Amino acid sequence: MKEIDARGLACPKPVVLTKKAMADNDEILTVVDNRTASENVAKLARKMKAEVTIVEEAEDYFKIMIKKTAADKVEDKAGAAVGSESESQQGKVYLVASDTLGEGDEELGKILIKGFLSTLLDIKPQPKKVIFLNAGVKLAVLEKDVTAVLADLEAAGVKILLCGTCLDYYNLSDQVEVGEVSNMYEIVDSLNSSSTVRV
């Protein structure tokens, strides 16, 4: 059994030392001198699916016993990859709020945004929605090659939303061929409930 005395060490040192010890040992006893560190060390161990027992607890003395379980020994590697892109990768919402992509030459920006939208067809996982706001609606309505791409996306089950206020502003409401005319509330709701990529 490996013993770690992490008393007097500031966060996150007790956690770091315990994590290191867990890589090479099946049983670890960590001693800390405050409740914060004790809670954090216990969290780490539970996250790594080990058994945790607080064996001694006083105002400024906490002894935490950590025992790795069989399954946990295999999962060690996975535990090391914290912060990986596990969080909701599927079905993103793409927000197109301009008729160019990036800052710089406008001509180039227009070419880039068209290129971007056509690659959405091949993106895995498939986008959930593509929302067009402000000058973005010009792109969706006036640029025929974009309209064609959007029609393909719509056929593939991607929702295309066009901001109604924006269509009115640019006098484009009667020229919409692809997509649904949407209101602010629906747009806000879509943006709020999904992982959004701003284009």
Partner 1 sequence: MGPKALAQVLRRVNFPADPEKLLIGLDKADDAAVYSLTDEIALIQTLDFFTPVVDDPYLFGQIAAANALSDVYAMGGQPILAMNIVGFPSCLEAEILSQILQGGADKVKEAGASLCGGHTVVDEEPKYGLSVTGTVHPDNLLSNSGIKEGDLILLTKPLGTGVMVSAIKGGFTKSDENNPAVKSMLTLNNTALKYFDQYQINACTDVTGFGLIGHLLEMSENSSLEITIEAPEIPIFEGVRDFAESGLLPAGAYKNRDNYEGFVSESGKRDQTLYELMYDPQTSGGLLISVAKEDAAELLIDLYGEGLDVAVIAKAKKGQKGVKIEWE
From residue 5, alpha-carbon distances to 9, 33, 151 in Å are 9, 9, 64
β partners of residue 159: 129
- Judged by CB under 8 A, which of 112, 121, 191, 197 binds partner 1? 191
Q: Does 40 bind partner 1 (CB under 8 A)?
A: yes
Q: Does 15 bind partner 1 (CB under 8 A)?
A: yes
Cβ–Cβ under 8 Å, residues 162 and 128: no
β partners of residue 132: 96, 162
Report the residue number, 54 or 82, with the smaller CB distance to partner 1: 82
Q: Does 134 bind partner 1 (CB under 8 A)?
A: yes
Pairing of strands 180-182, 196-198: unpaired
**Binding string to partner 1 for residues 91 to 110, with x set by CB under 8 A, is what?**
----x-x-------------
Distance spanning both ends of the chain, measured CA to CA: 53
Tokens of 130: 């593509």
- Judged by CB under 8 A, which of 54, 55, 142, 184 binds partner 1? 184
Cβ–Cβ under 8 Å, residues 18 and 6: yes
Strands (E), 107-171: 129-132, 159-163
Site for partner 1 in 48-77 (CB under 8 A): 48
Q: Does 32 bind partner 1 (CB under 8 A)?
A: no
* Nearest C-alpha neighbor of 63 from the set 7, 147, 117: 7
Q: Does 39 bind partner 1 (CB under 8 A)?
A: yes
Q: What share of the chain is helix, strand, coil (3-state, %, to 5)?
A: 45, 20, 35
- Judged by CB under 8 A, which of 24, 87, 107, 122 binds partner 1? 87
Distance CA 84, CA 125 (A): 17
Q: How many residues bind partner 1 (CB under 8 A)?
A: 40
Report the residue number, 83 or 157, with the smaller CB distance to partner 1: 83
- Residue 43: CB minimum distance to partner 1, A: 4
- Judged by CB under 8 A, which of 1, 8, 16, 123 binds partner 1? 16
Q: Which residues bind partner 1 (CB under 8 A)?
A: 10-13, 15-16, 18-19, 34-36, 39-48, 79, 82-87, 95, 97, 133-134, 184-185, 187-188, 191-192, 196, 198
